[in-house]
Amino acid sequence: MTSTRLPGKVLKLVNGKSLLAYHIERLQQTGFSIAIATTTNHTDDPLVDFAKEYHLNYYRGSEDDVLSRFYHTAKQFKYDIIVRVTSDCPLIDPHLIRNSVNKYIKLDNPNLYMSNVIARTFARGFDFEIFSYQSLKDAFENATEASDLEHVTPYIRKNIQGKTNFHDVVQSSDHSHLRLTVDTEPDFELIKQLIENHNAAELAYTEIEEILLKNPQLAAINEHIEQKKV
C-alpha cells in the first residue's frame, strides 16, 4: 500500500473492482493455494481484510526483509513449491503459470529455478518465478545483502552455492517491450482501458499482447515508463 510511485495501487478500482481482485481471481483459476505475504504496517491492514474476504492465506512480516516474509509464509502453510508473483500485475495469466508448474513438477528437481523473468519474451506483467521451499530456505538462511532480502530471489539467481539449475520459460515472439504491470498512473490508465474497453480480465496473455500489438496507441500510454532497478 505504500508504493512510492503510486500509493495504494493494488486497491485502485476499475469497474468497481480492485486491481488486486482481478489479480487474485485470475490466480484462483490455477487451482493452487494462494497466500498474501504482506507487512505488519497498519497501512497494509486493508490487504489483510482483503485476504479474509477472499478466504486466502496471509502472513504479516517485515516491510524491508521480503525474503523472510516469503520464507515464513511458505513455512507456515507448508508449501513445497513456491510461485512468486507480485500484486501489481492484475492481468497475470493463470494458464501460463499452471502449465509451467506442471512442467516444474515433472522435472522433479528441488534445485530448479523456473521463470520468465531472466530471458524476457513475455510482456512485463505476466512475470512469475517457481522454486522449491528448499531453495527458499537456503536463501533465507544465507542471504545477507539488502537487495537479496528486499527482492526475494536474487540470492537464488546468483547461484552462490552452485546448486541452482535454471529453466527459462519463453515464447517464440519477443514481446518484452510491452508493459502490463502497474507502478505509475500511466500504467494504471492502460490497464483500465484494457479491462473496460477490451475485456482483458477475461483474456489469455496471447490475446492481451495481441491487442497491444494491434493498437500501438494503447502501448504508447506507458511505453515511456522505466522499471525500477533491482
**Tens of pLDDT along 25-39?**
999 999 999 999 999
- What average pLDDT does this structure show over 45-74? 97
- The answer to whether the pTM exceeds 0.85 is yes
Would you kindly state where each structural domain of the chain is located, as residue ranges? Answer: 14-177
C-alpha cell at 40: 505488519
- DSSP letter for 15, please: T
Q: What is the pLDDT of residue 228?
A: 73
Fold of 14-177: Spore Coat Polysaccharide Biosynthesis Protein SpsA; Chain A (3.90.550)
Q: How many CB atoms lie within 10 A of CB 100?
A: 20
| Rg value, the chain, Cα | 17
Helix axes 185-198, 205-214, angle to 10 degrees: 100
Q: What is the pLDDT of residue 227?
A: 81
| pLDDT over threshold 90, residue 229 | no
Work out the burial of residue 149: count CB atoms within 10 Å of its CB; fewer than 13 is exposed, 13-18 middle, 19 or more buried.
Answer: buried
| pLDDT over threshold 70, residue 15 | yes
Which of the four pLDDT bands, split at 50, 70 and 90, describes residue 226?
A: confident
Q: In this structure, which amino acid lies at residue 188? A: F
- Please write the tens of the pLDDT for every residue from 77-136: 999 999 999 999 999 999 999 999 999 999 999 999 999 999 999 999 999 999 999 999
Q: Which residue has the cell 469497474?
A: 15
